[in-house]
Chains A and B, each alone.
Chain A
Amino acid sequence: MNSSARMTYASIEKSILRPETTEDIRDIVAAAVSAQEPLAVEGTGSKRGLGRPVQAARTLSLTKMSGVTLYEPEELVLSAKAGTPIAEIEALVDENNQRLEFEPMDYGPLHGLEAGQGTLGGVVACNLSGPRRLKQGAARDHILGVRAVSGRAEIFKSGGRVVKNVTGYDLSKGLTGSYGTLAVMSEITIKVLPKCETETTLVLRGLTDGEAAGAMAASMGSAAEVSAAAHLPAYVSSRVMDGELGNEAATAIRIDGFGPSVEARATHLGRALEKVGKLERLEPEASRRLWRDVRDVRPFVDGTDKPVWRLSVTPTRSHEIVMSLRMQAAIDAFYDWQGGLVWLRMEAGEPAADLVRETIRRFGGGHATLVRASESVRAATAVFQPQPGPLAGLSRRLKEQFDPAGVLNPGKMG
């Protein structure tokens, strides 16, 4: 992070408000509305580098709204206050052989921060996901209910604590991924699921991006029930697992589940993949390290603030997008296919937003988010994909309904 970002951070720290109850949050928002002075809404601030910089004199920090309020492993449900560290939740469910199925990624390292600093509220507000995205969804697919305070300084709830629920509009999904711009979530209920007994990863070596696309599509369309697929081009592959994978391009396919099932599926898929190229197999511990590194974009954790893009695109078009971009700009890229993503690092330091988005448009559509850049670049760039006029109008009307005074994270989403 550059020095100007640090100065902004310091000035925010001075006027930080730390509510302890939902009613406190309501009173703070009411005060903000009365004074017409916006609030920067955050948990620990670990994802402050995501989105556009918020211009607000005061910060509403949810760090004192912390603690798991309900956990019933046999009901597969957990509720916690929004400021509860996600690491605490992951440790608790792990003790019960469960996990958050959507594998929320950790942006901390990419932003030059320590890993494991985020909160449940942050994970939901940013709709995080991981390499299991295609199969098991993102935070949006695992949230069951929420209690929140809108920009109208009114407390409301939505959803419940059961999986199957269609009672009223799904405001929980509406708040997921809204980056704290519609309401301040105070308590969140999510689904938890059993941990896999074991996992393994098959790694094909030396494929081109196009060959890898074919191998991943075939694997994911097979009966092997693949839970993750990624392609790390040459040299990107050396920046995961502390270099253990070496320099050669690596196309990785994860299979997880019960022991006998994993063995049968890995053997079956392995036979098919051997025909494609040189095949290696990772044991459970190595497999876990690889996918954590893919999930958290470790190849681009470099201590710089070179722009990093997250592209959500049609999987089979992703290598065409990367090839086209490579001819026009200095980029580094890798593919998290089952996350539905391409990660791009712009080597020249310029975000080249128009180029990136125009290229996506030409190859099947999708959207691009600038997930790392200096504060000044993020202030000058459309960090989130601009929406077509009518859709932008609808989003704006939704914002006006929930936060008519514009006091919650103004400007964060553009």
Chain B
Amino acid sequence: MSVMMPKPSEAILSRRRAIVEALRQIVPGEGVVDAANEMAVFESDGLTAYRQLPLVVVLPSTVEQVAAVLKYCHGEDIPVVPRGSGTSLSGGALPLEDGVLLVLSKFNRVLEIDYDNRCAVVQPGVTNLGITHAVAGNGFYYAPDPSSQIACSIGGNVAENSGGVHCLKYGLTANNVLGIQFVTIEGEVMRLGGKHLDAEGYDLLGLMTGSEGLLGVVTEVTVRILQKPETARAVLIGFPTSEQAGECVASIIAKGIIPGGMEMMDRPAITAAEDFVHAGYPTDVEALLIVELDGPAAEVDHLLAEVEAIGNANGAVTCRVSQSEEERAAFWAGRKAAFPAVGRISPDYYCMDGTIPRKELPKVLAGMKAMSEKYGLRVANVFHAGDGNLHPLILYDANKEGELHRAEEFGNDILRLCVKVGGVLTGEHGVGVEKRDLMPEMFDEDDMKHQQRVKCAFDDKHLLNPGKVFPTLHRCAELGRMHVHKGQVAFPDLPRF
């Protein structure tokens, strides 16, 4: 592990037996797991390079139990790491040696579906796709669709503000959640929002969404559900250069068209995917766009013709419109299998997640090519072209001395370049432990202090998920000091009070 975590507290480690017993009083039976072999499945999340056994695993099944566990940990100063399905790609659910791992997987029920108000109330352990399945019979679906949707939980989606391929048109998790119930580290159960819109005070729901488990533990979620579009069709467009593909994306948006999905793959990704699933992708192009249009049939037909024309005007060498639902699924099969496909051509790969202004794509791709040569590692690219979210996959072999380290350095350089061209460190995977130490690339000391002040309002003892997101933990007492005193600040051109 190449990331420093907070030093475990000897005092907590030495009290382990008593802590386990106290937790058993709150969550009886098999809800408390403390045997090392049984805790092994929890030692990492989707970012498997980092592993750590927790102090103890607790699987509560009621909100009262969650509240009691948190209240107990708060009273005893024990860190708590919340976990949903453990699919985080940034180490957000990485356990702590001296911390309780609070697993919400038993909260797996859909509580209410209200079609007239177009919302569903679910427990946090319900999977993203599980929500869609619950409402699909009535022609509805839940819009955000992270690639891990078959496994990832909606509680985890709230914690990470998860995205997916349809964000440009349908928004991220933050835009699709109407309300939550959550428990504070002090064990207080709170409700934000509900079936109505917007908050009655500060937008605490907006702050909680994407807070990576550092502010509270989500125990119920009310999501917006949408009527499934009448139809969806996709078009595959191949280009001799990525610049032309980028121009095509810009022209589509300039025409006023917001596709449901717009994905780009570069040649290494196309080849790997085609060899793996035989989706019918052209393998002699440098860039491939999948543009999906959804909505009423009349609209989709009208816009498909426009998109084809725009593709041709931008130098497309191939252009294929899906003629059936099967063909549309085949177009996507290659893209959705891009990660495992790359997994076939390399023993290991490291998935990055920067976002850039779309127009900077050629510059960033050129930069990555140079880095690839510098580090002696291959890279394949899949790109949510509509919203500028880039997923470079760095190919390496963990068994070769130093390759993991080189891959990580390569990844860090990519993210630095993303920030330099006006983008950000993470578009949808979260900061977690993975990008924690890169935060200063994007934020200065005062920026991060203001973020941590939110943390202090929710959890002033820093007990929830410590060691994640922030490279330096400032004590809340220190953050609370005011640095402005009478006479110390000059304001020459302004009227003095």
Chain A residues close to B by CB (< 8 Å): 17, 19, 24, 27-28, 30-35, 37, 58, 72-77, 97, 127, 129, 133-134, 137-138, 140-141, 150, 152-158, 160-171, 173-174, 176-178, 182, 193-195, 197, 217, 220-225, 257-258, 260-261, 263-265, 312-316, 339-340, 364-367, 369, 384-385, 387-388, 390-392, 394-395, 397-402, 404-405, 413
Contacting pair B196 A404 (CB below 8 A): no
- A364–B222 Cα distance when bound, in Å, is 14
CB <8 Å contact, A402 and B453: yes
Q: Contact between B296 and A390 (Cβ–Cβ < 8 Å)?
A: no
A sample of 20 cross-chain residue pairs with beta-carbon separation below 8 angstroms, ordered by A number, consists of A24-B493, A24-B494, A31-B496, A35-B486, A137-B175, A153-B489, A156-B446, A163-B388, A168-B469, A169-B211, A173-B206, A177-B199, A177-B202, A194-B256, A257-B295, A365-B194, A366-B195, A395-B202, A398-B454, A413-B201
| Chain B stretch 443-489: residues in CB contact (< 8 A) with chain A | 443, 446-451, 453-458, 469, 479-480, 482-489
Chain B hits for A258, CB < 8 A: 299, 302-303
Complex formed: what's the CA distance from A294 to B264 in Å?
A: 41
- Tell me the nearest residue of chain B to A26, going by C-beta: B489
Tell me whether B21 is interfacial, beta carbon within 8 Å: no
| B195 and A364 contacting across the interface, CB-CB below 8 Å | yes
How far does the alpha carbon of A260 sit from the alpha carbon of B297 in the complex, in Å?
A: 10
> Could you say which of A73, A140, A387, A405 contacts B206, with CB atoms under 8 Å apart?
A140
Give every chain A residue within 8 A of B299 (Cβ-Cβ). Answer: 257-258, 260-261, 264
Main secondary structure of the interface of A (DSSP, over half): mixed
Which among B9-17, B26-34, B419-427 touches the partner chain?
B419-427
- Complex Cα spacing A6 to B121, Å: 47
Secondary structure class of chain B's binding surface, majority of residues: loop
Query: B486–A34 contact, CB under 8 A?
Result: yes
What CA separation (Å) do A27 and B494 show in the bound complex?
8
Beyond A138-B197, A154-B449, A397-B456, 4 additional pairs, beta carbon < 8 A: A160-B355, A168-B439, A225-B295, A391-B191
In the complex, which residues of chain B have a beta carbon less than 8 angstroms from the beta carbon of A171? 207, 450-451, 454
In the complex, A258→B358 CA distance in Å? 25
For residue B424, which residues in chain A have a CB less than 8 angstroms away from its CB?
A: 160, 162, 165, 167
Q: Are A194 and B253 in contact, with the CB atoms below 8 A?
A: yes
Q: How many angstroms from the CA of A152 to the CA of B483 in the assembled complex?
A: 8
With a 10 A CB-CB cut-off, give which of A75, A133, A413 has the most chain B CB atoms: A75
If A164-B172, A312-B198 touch, does A30 touch B484 (CB 8 Å cutoff)? Answer: yes
Q: Closest A-chain residue to B225, C-beta based?
A: A221
Residue count of chain B within 8 Å CB distance of chain A: 108
Query: Does B388 contact A164, Cβ atoms closer than 8 Å?
Result: yes
List residues of chain A with CB within 8 A of the CB of B457: 394, 397-398, 400-401
Binds A, one of B54-62, B78-86, B161-169, B396-404: B161-169
B157 CB → nearest A CB, Å: 11
| Cβ distance B273 to chain A, nearest Cβ, rounded Å | 22
Closest 3 CB pairs of A and B: A173-B206, A261-B299, A194-B256
Known: A17-B494, A221-B116, A413-B201. A74 touches B253 (CB 8 A): yes
Known A74-B254, A141-B171, A163-B388; judge A314-B355 contact (CB<8 A): no
Contact present for B206 and A17 (CB under 8 Å): no
CA distance A150 to B117 in the complex (A): 38
* Complex interface: chain B residues within 8 A of A129 (CB): 197-198
Contact partner, B227, options A157, A222, A388, Cβ 8 Å: A222
- B266: Cβ under 8 A from any A Cβ: no
B356 within 8 A of A: yes
Contact A223 B230 (CB under 8 A): yes
Q: Are A168 and B357 in contact (CB under 8 A)?
A: no
Given contacts A170-B161, A173-B207, contact A261 B298 (CB under 8 A): yes
The smallest C-beta distance from A51 to any residue of chain B, in angstroms, reads 12
Residues in A neighbouring B161, C-beta threshold 8 A? 166, 170
A160 to B167, CA, bound (A): 16
The listed residue (B206, B427, B487, B497) touching A174 by CB distance below 8 A is B206
Our pick among A34, A155, A163 for the contact of B168 (Cβ within 8 Å) is: A163
Q: B247 — nearest CB in chain A belongs to which residue?
A: A74
Bound-complex Cα distance A173 to B215 (A): 15
Quick one: which of B196, B423, B456 has the most chain A CB within 10 A?
B196
Give the Cβ gap from B23 to chain A, nearest Cβ, in Å: 24
Contact of B202 among A153, A165, A182 (CB under 8 A): A182
B479 / chain A contacts, CB cutoff of 8 Å: 401
Q: Is B431 an interface residue (CB 8 A)?
A: yes
Inter-chain contacts of A155 with B (CB < 8 A): 446
CA distance A404 to B484 in the complex (A): 11
Q: Across the interface, which residues of B come within 8 angstroms of A163, CB to CB?
A: 167-168, 355, 387-388
In the complex, A385 Cα to B191 Cα: how many Å? 14
A340–B451 CB distance below 8 A:
no
Asked if B188 lies at the interface with its beta carbon under 8 angstroms from chain A, I say yes
Q: Are A174 and B482 in contact (CB under 8 A)?
A: no
Q: Are B118 and A221 interface neighbours, CB within 8 A? A: yes
- Asked if A177 and B454 make an inter-chain contact with CB atoms under 8 angstroms apart, the answer reads no
Our pick among A28, A164, A220, A369 for the contact of B494 (Cβ within 8 Å) is: A28
